[in-house]
Structure 1
Amino acid sequence: MNIFAEIRDLILATLDDMVRAGDLPEGLNTDAITTEPPRDAAHGDMATNAAMVLAKPAAMKPRDIADALAGRLAQDARITSAEVAGPGFLNVRLAPSVWQGIVGAVLAQGTDFGRATLGQGKRVNVEYVSANPTGPLHVGHTRGAVFGDALASLLDFAGYDVTREYYINDGGAQVDVLARSVYLRYQEAHDLSVDWPEGSYPGDYLIEVGEALKAKVGDKYLDKGEQYWLEDIREFATDRMMDLIREDLAALGVEMDVFFSEKSLYGTGRIEAALDNLRGKGLIYEGVLEPPKGKTPEDWEPREQTLFKSTAHGDDVDRPVKKSDGSWTYFAPDIAYHYDKVQRGFDALIDVFGADHGGYVKRMKAAVSALSDGKVPLDIKLTQLVKLFKNGEPFKMSKRAGTFVTLRDVVDQVGPDVTRFVMLTRKNDAMLDFDFDKVLEQSRENPVFYVQYAHARVASVLRKAEEAGITADDATLAKADLGLLDHEAELALLRKLAEWPRLIETAARTNEPHRVAFYLYELAGDFHGLWNKGNEVTSLRFIQEGDAATSQAKIALARATAIVIAAGLGILGVTPAQEMR
């Protein structure tokens, strides 16, 4: 039940009537017409831009269209008033029964209330985390993991067929560094002294890997050149690191559908096939790039390379795919990987990258546009940095990791639910301050607590109803006299509940799961506001002593609120609280 969509449909149907009556010309495009909450709630329940959108193509004054539309809309039983404002905006007020009916819809559909058909079953690939398999996930990966996972859940809720994917960067030089670092730990496991070269991975997490390698091969690799052990240890170390990464993701409640290995692209002809696709479209050529900005002729050596004509698909400059020495650039396997996605038949692709990948966006979008002939859109979401604080001071790096704060450091401090919710309290491209003390505060300033507390309060209402002998199962509550919910504080909460289906569609269209977290905070605020008013006005309390019928109506509103909160938290990957401790 999307009341905003229903009223928009009513407006479109009314405009069709006006066309048939000769009050509007035929052939008008109504796609841009919206119905949404007004900026100022005092102006009404909904506002529509219909008259403003149609005025120019209809060659009419917007107020004339708005006046005629208002008169017709006012005849619908759901609408109590339709008033023209400003140059031609139309503000609409709905009958209380419309809002009261939301409760029945929520109770009937449960946490599926608001589930949309926007996606129409289209296949979407969401790739996120995709960290180098060289160590445990750090706090930056944590934000990307939470964002990507919540986005995937949001799109699923909106009717898309979603695949969650992790791209294992196991084909580059960093995995050789990992193998050499594991070899040093392997030597240490044999009680040998080692020197750690600059750029290696000295974290304690590799101690166990070195010991495991010793247990597997004994002294087989001691005193041997790396030509004898590098490839074997690469594979061994990568497998161990991916096991560690999977454990980290599981601690955060993240499960992937696909783990795709970059290494599988090398030596299999898949990189060549992707570039052949582009070459067949005249987009691969041999050339010399202009010097990068800031480079002087003295420190720039022009050399011929194999280039992708990415400027033909919106990039600023063409990009090299093969170096002058014949080896692939980092971009070449990424092209092949996305070509594989296109070939798998996805209707849309989403990549979640860290903020340091901003320079990669245009070239990657250009590649997918070229590979799919513009048929498969790629949206790249960048997640900004997270600043960690504790006791008013920056949180220190992990000894185990050696150089950074790990995902486990964060989850062990506050738990997965708090971690996930807090990571979504800012838009993905905004910096995020994560204060370990504040995220555990029991106050309105802590959005995690505030939302969980609302759900827990409803659970307490249901327990008290049971103690009072009031039947409060969902089927019974759905039959309550919801017309008793007529106080403005109750209607305000009902209006907020009614926004949920619209919010889902808006968030899914923009790929912005943080909107769900923001909405839940606002919904919790309206619920707490009603609760607090009940401390002063006894008629607003959810349990009315000696009046089971009125109690059931009010409990139905509380229960509907809890259901929507649970649905929203489910999208965010957070478990609703039954009580606060």
Structure 2
Amino acid sequence: MNLFSDIRALVIAALGEMVAEGALPAGLSYDNVTVEPPRDAGHGDMATNAAMVLAKPAGLKPRDIAEALAGKLAADDRIASAEVAGPGFLNLRLDPGVWAGLVEAILSAEGYGRSGMGRGQKVNVEYVSANPTGPLHVGHTRGAVFGDALAALLEFSGHEVTREYYINDGGAQVDVLARSAYERYREALGHMPQIEEGLYPGDYLVPVGEALAAEVGDKWLDQPEAVWLAEVRDFAVAKMLQMIREDLAALGVEMDVFFSEKSLYGTGRIEAAIEDLRAKGLIYKGVLEPPKGKMPEDWEPREQTLFRSTAHGDDVDRPIMKSDGSWTYFAPDIAYHYDKVSRGFDALIDVFGADHGGYVKRMKAAVAALSDGKVPLDIKLTQLVKLYKNGEPFKMSKRAGNFVTLRDVVDAVGKDVTRFHMLTRKNDAPLDFDFDKVLEQSRENPVFYVQYANARVHSVLRKAADAGVTPVGAPRLDDEAEFDVAKKLAEWPRLVEIAARTHEPHRIAFYLYDLASAFHTLWNKGNENSGLRFVQEGDRDATSAKIPLAWAVSIVISAGLGILGVTPAEEMR
């Protein structure tokens, strides 16, 4: 059930009647007609812009359309009043029975708020994709939570989602990893490691070196790099991926696909992607303009193999092959997305760190070219996370060397707190994460406030069960605070579709806080007015009529927390 969609359908039907009667011209588009909560709750329960958006194409005054439409809508039993406001907005108040019916529908519905909006469209969400050279850090944590919640949100709205991790194991950084692991291997055999500048210093490589020593003994000790580099690299990458999988599991993240960059090299897959672009006239030999701003000292004009990315919205064309004939870092990324397009996805989403902002246009251009504009690519950037403890910046992690790891954060505050708090800001806004504040039991801590609301509901249900009452009676709403909760519940299906359409899972966290706030307000009012308490001592019928509203709140909170990857609390400890 989506009450806003139902009322919009009523508005569209009324407009159709006006067309049939000649009050409106035929052929009008209703695509921009909306029904939504009014900005000021005092104006009503819902508002429609129908008269405003149809006035110009209809050649009529907005108020004239609004007044005629108000008369049509007022004839429906669900509409208590329809009032024209301002130049032609139409404010609607619904019959009180509608809200009680909504609560009853939530309890009887299977998956209230779930949507068929996605219609089974196949969507690939790529996130985390950290270099397999060390533990995931707090920046990866935010990207992992955002990507995972976005994937769950899209599934909730009817999409078929693949969660994917791109393993950057084809560049020079994995050679650095191998050299770093080799020094820990030497250490495991009793030698002093030489962790020179440029190598990875973290203690996380100590067990890798020990495992390598246990497997090969002193076979590679004092051997030249050419002898051991390739095998140590493969061994270390495998160990790092195992650690990354374990870190993600601690955060509640499970990938469907791990795609190796290395698998693109020497297999013809990069060449095939570039040939596809060449066949479209998008690969050519050329000389780029010098960089804007201060000229680098080592810059010189030289002919390169370029991708004509400007044909698909980029600012400049991009090199895909170096002057020595080797691929640039962009070429395998083109091939990787070519593979995604070839797998038949209807849409692609990449979740990158903030430092990849300059990469957005070129990658979008590549996907547009590879898919002939048929597969949209949305790139979401996650901004930095600033960590605090006791009000002071928190930075150090011996295990990682010089940063705080994902596991540090999860071990300190738990998976659920980590995930919820990472979604309390929009992905492209900086986020402060205070280890003390995220555990506070106060209204200022969103995760506590939402969980406390759910725990209060379960407390009510336990008390009702002890009294032999279950939430199956016809709901009864009497007080304005009860109606406020029901009205917030009505927004859930609409909110899900908006969040899924805009790829903004933080909207779920915001909504849950607002719903919890409305519920706590009702609860506190019940402390002063016993008639508003969910459990009415000695009155089974009244209790049976009151607790459906509380149970509906828990159903929606549990669904929202499920999207965020947070386990709903049934009691607070």
TM-score (norm 1): 0.98
Instruction: Tell me how far 1:458 sits from its aligned partner.
Output: 0.6
* Aligned counterpart for 2:519 among listed residues 520, 524, 527: 527
2:381 corresponds in structure 1 to 382
- 2:99 corresponds to 1:106: no
Question: Which residue is equivalent to 2:249?
Answer: 250
- Aligned residue in 2 for 1:60: 60
Structure 1 residue 402 displacement after superposition: 0.3
For residues 297 and 458 of structure 2, what CA distance do their matches in structure 1 show?
A: 72
Correspondence 1:18-417 to 2 at 5 A: 18-109=18-109, 112-296=111-295, 299-417=298-416
Structure 2 counterpart of 1:471, one-letter code = V
Alpha-carbon shift at residue 295 of structure 1 (Å): 3.5
Instruction: Establish whether residue 556 from structure 1 lines up as the match of residue 554 from structure 2.
Output: no
Compare 36-45 and 392-401 and name the one that shifted more.
Answer: 392-401
- Give 1:299 deviation, angstroms: 4.2
Contact between 2:469 and 2:543, CA under 8 Å: does it hold in 1? no
CA distance in 1, matches of 2:545, 2:259: 52
Residues 44 and 140 (structure 1 numbering): CA distance in 2 closer, same or farther, change over 3 Å?
Answer: same
Partner of 2:474: 481
Is the CA contact 1:179–1:234 (under 8 Å) kept in the aligned structure 2? yes
- Structure 1 match to 2:468: 470
Paired AA for residue 322 in structure 1: M
**CA contact 1:348–1:376 (8 Å) conserved in 2:** yes
Q: Is the 8 A contact 1:481 1:549 kept in 2?
A: no
Which residue of the partner structure matches residue 428 of structure 1?
427
Q: Say yes or no: does 1:547 pair with 2:539.
A: yes
CA drift at 1:102: 1.4
CA contact under 8 A between 1:113 and 1:564: conserved in structure 2? yes
Per-residue CA deviation, residues 129-188 of structure 1 (Å, 9 max, x unaligned), is: 000000000000000000000000000000000000000000010000000100111111
Q: Of 472, 486, 490, which aligns to 1:494?
A: 486
Structure 1 position 354, deviation (Å): 0.3
Give yes or no for contact 2:104–2:474 (8 Å, CA) kept in 1.
no
Q: 1:299 & 1:184 partners in 2: Cα distance?
A: 34
User: Aligned AA for 2:189?
Assistant: H
Three-state SS of the structure 2 residue aligned to 1:535 is: helix
The RMSD of aligned alpha carbons is: 0.9
Gaps of 5+ in 2: none
Paired residues of 1:481 and 1:550 also in contact (CA < 8 A)? no
Shift of 1:298: 5.3
In 2, the alpha carbon distance for the partners of 1:132 and 1:299 equals: 28
Residue 224 of structure 1: how far off its partner (Å): 1.2
Choose which of 510, 514, 517 in structure 2 pairs with 1:518.
Answer: 510
Task: Check whether the contact 1:470–1:552 (CA below 8 A) recurs between aligned residues.
Answer: no
**2:16 is paired with a residue of what secondary structure?**
helix
TM (normalized to structure 2)? 0.99
**Equivalents in 2 of 1:511, 1:426: separation in Å?**
13
Letter of the structure 1 residue corresponding to residue 248 of structure 2: L
Matched-pair contact (CA < 8 Å) for 2:499–2:507: yes
CA distance in 1, matches of 2:450, 2:494: 20
* Aligned counterparts of 1:574 and 1:27: Cα–Cα separation in 2: 47
Specify the code of the residue in structure 1 equivalent to 2:520. H
Aligned residues: 573
In 1, Cα distance between the equivalents of 2:5 and 2:289? 52
1:461 aligns with 2:460: yes
Q: Distance in 1 between matches of 2:432 and 2:501?
A: 27
The equivalent residue for 1:538 is: 530
